[in-house]
Amino acid sequence: MPDHSLYARRLREIADALDAEPQQTDDVLMPHPDTLDVISNRHTKRGQFNHAIPEALQLQRRIRRYNADTGVPHGDIVALALDTWLRAKGYPPDLTPRETDVS
């Protein structure tokens, strides 16, 4: 017959270990600090980003509305969203401190 107290103790240890692990939150939607540094630097070189996107998603309208509500520039909205998504998928940029400090 199995020792139930040993089994219960092991379950408590597992539960405690799971509680100690960081829980997934909306933090994956938070922009990376390096990205915020790049975007906030007024000397950051900028380029156009044009792609055909489904009109049904109304992304342009939604970006304009978000810009009107927050004052965040259109390009920064797109850059923040794409950078956050690509980082979450395992594709961070190759940034070095020198690239973010354009003289």
Has residue 52 been placed in a domain?
yes
The answer to whether 34 and 100 have CB atoms below 8 angstroms apart is yes
Confidence of residue 6 (pLDDT cuts 50, 70, 90): confident
Has residue 47 been placed in a domain?
yes
Region 69-86: mean pLDDT is: 94
Region 79-87: mean pLDDT is: 93
Has residue 15 been placed in a domain?
no
Region 50-58: mean pLDDT is: 93
Has residue 55 been placed in a domain?
yes
The tens digit of pLDDT for each residue in 7-40 reads: 888 888 888 777 766 555 557 788 989 999 999 9
Has residue 73 been placed in a domain?
yes
Give residue 96's pLDDT.
75
Residue 12 structure tokens:
């408590």
Give residue 103's pLDDT.
46
The helix/strand count (H/E) of the chain reads as: 5, 0
Has residue 11 been placed in a domain?
no
Has residue 65 been placed in a domain?
yes
What sign does the dihedral 65-68-72-73 (CA atoms) show?
positive
Q: How many domains does the chain have?
A: 1
Residue range of the domain that includes 85: 25-100
Average pLDDT across the chain, whole number: 84
Contacts of 59 (CB under 8 A, 6+ apart): 53
Give residue 22's pLDDT.
54
